[in-house]
Every structure is written in C-alpha cells, then in structure tokens.
A and B are shown apart, each in its own frame.
Chain A
C-alpha cells in the first residue's frame, strides 16, 4: 500500500514548474517548429518557385537560373539572418530583463538602436561612407559605445549601476543620440534616405555579405549569453543575496552588458532595429519555463527566431506583391501580445 501512497503526492507539494523532462521535450519540439518555419521561409515569397527547383538550388546550383538565385542568394541568407538575429534579440532581451531586474527592459532602453542609427548617419555624413558593408561595422560600433556609455553613466555613485539608474541613463542617452541624428539628417537628404532602413528593421535586401560579417559576433554573443543563466538566477534573488552567495555582482553585470552589446549591435547591424520581440519573447519563455534563467535563455534562443521568421513570412504575403518590413509586422502583433501578457499575468517578479 505504501507504493500508491507515496506516488499520490499532495497537490501543494507538486513542483510549481514543469519538470526538466517536460522542458527538454518542449525544447526538442521547438527545434522541429523552427525547422518547419524555415521551410516556409525558403519556399514562400514574391516569386513562385517550385519545390523541385528549390531542391535543385541546393543540390545542383546554377547561378544563371533566376529562380535558383532567389533561393540560394535571397531566401537562404534572409532566413539565416532571421534565425541568428532573432536568437540574439531574444537572448539580449532576456539578459537585460534579468540584469536590470526590469520587466520592461529591451534593447531600446539601453540606447542601442539609437547608438547604431547615430553611428551610421555619422559615417555617411562625416566620413562619406557609401557602402552597406561598412555601415554594418558602424552600427555595431555605435551600439557598443551606447551600451558602454549608458552603463558608465549609471555606474556613478556608491551603489553602482542599479536598475533605475540604468533605465534613466538609457533614456537620457537615447534622447541625446536621437537629437544628434535628427540634427545631421535635417541638413542632408541622402542621409535621410539611407536612414530609412535603420528606422524600421527588415530582413529584405540583406544577403550573405551582411550575414558573414555579423555571424562571428552573433555566435560569440549567443555562446556568452547561454552561459549567463546561473549568474542571472543569482541576480534574480537580489543583489545582496547574490553577493552573499559569493557572486561577483559587478563583474557579472559587466560581462552581461558586453554580451548584450555584442548581441544587439550585431543583430541591429544585420537587420536594423527590430522592437518588441526582445521584450515579449523572454516573457513568453518565462511563462512556459518558470523562473530558471537557464531554461528561459534556451527557450528564447529558439522561440525568438520562430517569431521573427513567422512575422517575416506574414510580411511577405500580407500585402503581396509588395512586402511589409518585419519590424512593422512585429510592432503590430507584438504590441497587443505584450498587453495580453501584462493583462493576464503579473509580470514576473524579477
């Protein structure tokens, strides 16, 4: 009789969150979902391309065949950028929310998008940069400098970079950078045209050169990010407790911000500023996995690319034969999703 008695654990003693096995199964399922989404991302678009042609594009590529070029040189890099940039945005959002203990943290509050945009406009106007491949580096540089500046400003004072100070410093730096950008843009029309891309994120028109340029940073950032789970769990307990547990809080924070700067800078330079996804998906991941950041990060890694690619596919078909930028689609579906999250669930006690 003891056997049955032991298996019928009282409800209140059941673990609050899903078991490790369930979460692992979910992770595998997510990989499958991502694969399906990738399939659609490669097969759907402005040009109708048959499955046999797609197969041939991978097995026996003929660059003079336009349909095969579209698959190999347009849709494949577009999908890859969506996967990697999406993963970077999701991870950076999760880390930012954890490290600032601010449920509304996203790359926007760190002034990262503003940093990238200002840097690019500066490059065009002052240095006369013309080529897209060079912009990428300036976007990255600007994002990094903005992150460092914000963290530096927030670090003044005895208690270091607290969540509130970080948010305030981020807002202030964003305001300064935006006004610099406006000042430059107002005097020059060609900068305005170039800047259009850096105002709304898009996966269109981003091909292999951009992908290869940003890939090393994305990979480094993603690897670093996946290693921060334990430290984030510590920080979530509160700074004092984390210190008491022997964490080197200040160093941890610095490493995390560097990681975020790498991730956001690379993602922004690859596909422009994409908002909401870095804010919403980590919350979604937290709803599924509970408070363990190791799982939140793992789920964000896969969930964000799925959301980005689905949004991109929607953008391709919804106003066909035209296209809606993925940044716009994510804004439209991201905002109500976020309101639902806030409405039906108390935002995680970070």
Chain B
C-alpha cells in the first residue's frame, strides 16, 4: 500500500500498537559459513554465519519463498489476505507482525530474535519498505534488531527479482531447480508477447494513475519498477511534468485538472482496485480523460510484483488488454 498511505499514516500515529509477547524459542543462527550481500542501498552487509531467522516485508517474503527461503515472520502493508503479492502462498508457521502500513509489532519482532530483515530499498526515500520517514517509532525500532537488506526499487522488477534470487542463494537456497527455470522461461515468453503487442500499436500512449478522493495521483514511470520495465519494453508511458517535490513518485493533480494528460489508455493502480474505480467514477472530471470515455482503463500492477510467476500473469493480462486498445484515440 506504500506510496499512497502516506496521508493516513499521520492518522494512524495515534493508534498505539498493542504489545504482545510470543514464545521465546531461542534457536541460535546455525548457518556455518560467513555471509555477505550487497544490498539496494549500495552497502555490503556481512555476518560470521548465514542468517536463518528472517523477517520480511510482504512482497519480499513472496520473492524469498519463490526461491525456497521461508521467513519466520512477515509484516504487511495491509490485511494479509488482501496483499496481492502474498496471494496463494503457504504462510503456515509464519508470524504476522503487521497488517497496517506504518506499524510493526516491535515487541513480538524482538522476541523472534531475527538475524536478518528483508525488504525492498526505495532510493527516493533512502529507506527500506516499512522503515520510511513517517512510520511509527515502534516500526523504526524493528530496524535495529538486525541488518535490513534487499534489492532497490525503481529501475526494473526484473533486476529486483534477480536481486532477491542472489540474496536467496547467499542464504543457502538452490535456485537452479527445474521449476524456477520453467518460471523464467514462461516469463520470457510473456515479455516477448508484451513487446510484440506494444510494437504492433504504433503511437500508443498511456498514463499510470491512482485516484483518491481529494487528488488524482499521476505516476512518474521512472520511479516505479514495473513502469520502468514497460517503458524499456517499448510502451510509451507519459511522464508528468511537475512531480511532487517531496514525494517524487507522483504528480498530485487536482480533480479540476484531471484532463491535463490525454493518453490512449489509462493504467490504474490495482492495489485497491474496486475502491479506486469507485472513487474515480464519483469524480465528474474523470470522464474528461478521453481514454476513460472510451473504456480504455487497464489495471496497473503497482509496486507489488516480486516473482516471475506474478509478473508473467500480469504481463499476459496487460498484453491481452492492450491488444484491444485504440492507439489513435488521442
């Protein structure tokens, strides 16, 4: 839910997290060899033995699990059953430390004696997921329990997944199995299909948005990993000309100016899809975006994809949707 929940965080701050204790199973890290990993913040982290007690942010956990590393606990930005990245994953035996962005149960986390915390790194904010400025103090304390590592966001979901693969390998996973190889192969096919589809639509333009009651947020493609990939693969995503200087993931458009950009189709943040659509449809000026009038609104898998499987599914859905788009609408 990152990037948009900012506003609600301040409201969340007064809600003190209720303390709770957990059983103290003090199994020490048993990994034998010295461990080292170069993380998204550019630093190299090392330890005398390989970390085994891992706490991970929801989407990071999805990536680790896809490569065979199971964390002992996760913290999610919202209800776990609504976290798209965690869909269909076996979370049995994994502790849930948070289902609210900005909060992490620090007491429970400390009781788990983690030796590594895994989350994506956000270069714009110089912070890992869950530890951005504005989260509760208790969440910030969790950061001190162990090193926080993970690949960087922004440039590409592909390199991000590769970063997680490298991390999983360093943690002892064997990522050379048939299943992973097959996932990579189908993913490559999906990428080729996407490239071909986009190439067949001469002059096609798009705009990635996230509607809210007070503003229409327009995404800066270079700050969203998947949008960077789509651009790389030939899709023309419009770049807003005046991003929020304090939060450069978005340009904040007043609904009065909703028609400022006119793409052939709209990519709409899918993290809370039903609600976003309803919010948008309640805005009279939403219809002044020509693509909306033409029914060219396509879900944008925003910020959450971390596995080849999820990415393959989403790319295929996008390709199917783009095939129906009129590239000469605007």
Asked if A323 lies at the interface with its beta carbon under 8 angstroms from chain B, I say yes
How far is it, in angstroms, between the C-alpha of A322 and the C-alpha of B278 when the chains are bound? 22
Within 8 A of B (CB), among A181-200: 182, 185-186, 188-190, 192-193, 195-197, 199
How far is it, in angstroms, between the C-alpha of A196 and the C-alpha of B257 when the chains are bound? 23
Nearest A residue to B213 via CB reads A205
Asked if A137 lies at the interface with its beta carbon under 8 angstroms from chain B, I say no
How far is it, in angstroms, between the C-alpha of A66 and the C-alpha of B5 when the chains are bound? 29
- Give the interface size bracket for A toward B: 20 to 34
How far is it, in angstroms, between the C-alpha of A204 and the C-alpha of B101 when the chains are bound? 26
- Residue pair A195, B11 in contact (C-beta under 8 Å): yes
- Residue pair A69, B288 in contact (C-beta under 8 Å): yes
- Residue pair B282, A132 in contact (C-beta under 8 Å): yes
For A15, the chain B residues whose CB sits under 8 A away are none
Within 8 A of A (CB), among B10-57: 11-12, 15
B interface residues, Cβ below 8 angstroms from A: 1, 5, 7-8, 11-12, 15, 78-79, 99-101, 213-214, 252, 254-259, 272, 274-275, 278, 282-285, 287-288
- Residue pair A74, B15 in contact (C-beta under 8 Å): no
Q: Give the 8 A-B residue pairs with the shortest CB-CB distance, closest first.
A: A73-B284, A46-B254, A47-B256, A66-B288, A66-B259, A46-B256, A70-B256, A205-B213
A191-220 interface bits toward B, Cβ cutoff 8 Å, 1 = contact, 0 = none: 011011101001011010100000000000
Nearest B residue to A47 via CB reads B256
The residue among B15, B99, B256, B282 with the most chain A CB atoms within 10 A of its own CB is: B256
The residue among B213, B258, B259 with the most chain A CB atoms within 10 A of its own CB is: B213
The one of B8, B257, B274, B275 that contacts A192, using a Cβ cutoff of 8 Å: B8
For B257, the chain A residues whose CB sits under 8 A away are 46-47, 321
How far is it, in angstroms, between the C-alpha of A316 and the C-alpha of B221 when the chains are bound? 28
- Residue pair A47, B288 in contact (C-beta under 8 Å): no
- Residue pair B213, A197 in contact (C-beta under 8 Å): yes
- Residue pair B7, A189 in contact (C-beta under 8 Å): no
For A323, the chain B residues whose CB sits under 8 A away are 214, 254
Asked if A64 lies at the interface with its beta carbon under 8 angstroms from chain B, I say yes
Tell me, rounded to whole Å, the shortest Cβ–Cβ distance linking A79 to chain B: 14
How far is it, in angstroms, between the C-alpha of A292 and the C-alpha of B278 when the chains are bound? 48
- Residue pair B259, A322 in contact (C-beta under 8 Å): no
How far is it, in angstroms, between the C-alpha of A130 and the C-alpha of B5 when the chains are bound? 18
How far is it, in angstroms, between the C-alpha of A306 and the C-alpha of B256 when the chains are bound? 23
A48-83 interface bits toward B, Cβ cutoff 8 Å, 1 = contact, 0 = none: 000000000000000110100110011000000000
- Residue pair A74, B11 in contact (C-beta under 8 Å): no
- Residue pair A196, B8 in contact (C-beta under 8 Å): yes
Nearest A residue to B284 via CB reads A73
- Residue pair A205, B11 in contact (C-beta under 8 Å): no
- Residue pair A321, B11 in contact (C-beta under 8 Å): no
The one of A204, A207, A321 that contacts B284, using a Cβ cutoff of 8 Å: A207
- Residue pair A202, B256 in contact (C-beta under 8 Å): no
Asked if A346 lies at the interface with its beta carbon under 8 angstroms from chain B, I say no
Tell me, rounded to whole Å, the shortest Cβ–Cβ distance linking B317 to chain A: 24
How far is it, in angstroms, between the C-alpha of A157 and the C-alpha of B266 when the chains are bound? 63
- Residue pair B255, A74 in contact (C-beta under 8 Å): yes
For A182, the chain B residues whose CB sits under 8 A away are 15
